[in-house]
Amino acid sequence: MPNPPRSGHAVTAGFLGWTLDAFDFFIVIFLYDTLAAQFHVSKGAIIATLTGTLAMRPVGALLFGLLADRYGRRLPLMANVIYFAVIEVLCGFATNYPTFLVLRILFGIGMGGEWGVGSSLAMESAPPRWRGMFSGILQSGYSWGYLLASVAARVILPHWGWRAMFWTGGVPALLALYVRTHVPESKAWEQHRVPSVKAIFSSVTAYWKSFIYLMLLMTSMLCLSHGTQDLYPDFLKTEHKIAVNTVSYIVIFYNVGAIFGSVIFGHLSERLGRRRTMAAALLLSLAVIPLWAFSYGLYKLALGAFLMQVGVQGAWGIIPAHLNELAPDTARGLIPGLAYQLGILFASPVNQVEHHLYLHVGYRWALGGFELANIVML
């Protein structure tokens, strides 16, 4: 059984990697209008860069997942972190829309690789009885990244401008040093390492039915997370005329709820089981859709957003453990991350779909109606 220091460092590395990765992604959602004006394009064109980022994540999952199953978890994780940090810094130097779009597409490769490698290293190092709790902590990194992006929008953007927001994204490169000095290689990988890439693909082929299930599950789960998060700040500004500074505080508030949900529901899954606990979290999100999308008033909207993310990220807090437990030992670096990122490929148009619905039925029904159908399906 892994000892606490070993599992602690592995979970910390996975948590920090996902936090910083999410921070770099969510910066854009606070800059729709700013970037549209800077590059002389429509807001829809900036939203399309999110689709480009999300669509390229399977490429990163495939590339870095194969490297992780063939050569170990540590080196691919370090290479991945350095890669997405460099791309993020370069985004701050973009002078036109085509350059920015290409850089966000390239960033998607780095974002796609981090989760699979980081989660496999963390879950393989975690003691089984704490795997649910560590899963929730690991996945809460996504919410911490979103929270930090909202703080950056409140602190960095007004004083140093949008370019400094992206330059801050160079900080993750320091995480590679932490992985190099503190995180040992996965013992599970050392015990089940395969001799070739061909052998890895053979494991995936034998697992194809469960892989398809996981991919479909992740498609809906990613429609749940991105569908409730990416356009919500713009919904508050556009539909309810809430000031930008106030919106950033609401985002911080509902990400606190997301962090709370990830850890609590992750821990509950050790007693109730993964699927039952996910269902309970989803029922909470379903119940608060009227408050989240259709209510009026600052405090009601903030409360609705808080409870929505408790449920959304409560369900998500179980995903790292659930996917890694269902993956074969010989392809655990590849399958969880690839299923996750193929799910995001199919879910990548979610922001554009919701934006299109907004133009036809209004923002409330665009968000509320879409997520009502998605959560019922889940």
pLDDT digits (tens, 9 = 90+) for 307-335: 999 999 999 988 888 887 887 766 666 77
Q: State the sign of the Cα–Cα–Cα–Cα dihedral 274, 279, 284, 285.
A: positive
| Predicted confidence band of residue 1 (pLDDT cuts 50, 70, 90) | very low
Q: Determine if residue 154 is left, alpha or beta; phi over 0 gives left, psi from -120 to 50 gives alpha, anything else beta.
A: alpha
Q: Give the DSSP letter of residue 73.
A: S
Return the pLDDT at 200. Answer: 65
Supply the angle between the helices 131-160 and 298-316 in degrees, to the nearest 10: 140
Res. 294: pLDDT tops 50: yes
Return the pLDDT at 4. Answer: 45
Tell me the CA distances in angstroms from 323 to 59, 320, 339, one per residue in order.
19, 6, 9
Residue 56, token pair as written in the block: 């390229």
Which sequence spans correspond to the domains of the chain? Answer: 4-184+200-377
According to CATH, the topology of domain 4-184+200-377 is Growth Hormone; Chain: A; (1.20.1250)
As a whole number of angstroms, the longest Cα–Cα distance in the chain is 60
Q: Return the closest-CA partner of residue 152 out of 140, 162, 165, 143.
A: 165
Q: CB of 48 within 8 A of CB of 352?
A: yes
Res. 156: pLDDT tops 80: yes
Return the pLDDT at 14. Answer: 75
Return the pLDDT at 101. Answer: 94
Return the pLDDT at 311. Answer: 96
Q: CB of 144 within 8 A of CB of 258?
A: no
Residue 207, token pair as written in the block: 């697992």
Supply the angle between the helices 335-347 and 57-71 in degrees, to the nearest 10: 180
Q: CB of 47 within 8 A of CB of 352?
A: yes
Q: Return the closest-CA partner of residue 117 out of 336, 284, 353, 313.
A: 336
Q: CB of 50 within 8 A of CB of 230?
A: yes
Res. 163: pLDDT tops 80: yes
Coil vs helix vs strand at 126: coil
Return the pLDDT at 35. Answer: 92
Tell me the CA distances in angstroms from 250 to 154, 227, 243, 365, one per residue in order.
12, 17, 11, 21
Span 62-119, pLDDT tens digits: 888 778 777 777 788 888 888 888 898 899 999 999 999 999 999 998 888 877 777 7
Measured in degrees and rounded to the nearest 5, phi and psi for residue 332 equal -75, -25
Residue 286, token pair as written in the block: 């379903």
Average confidence score pLDDT of the chain:
83
Res. 224: pLDDT tops 90: yes
> What is the Cα Rg of the chain in Å?
19
Q: Give the DSSP letter of residue 96.
A: S
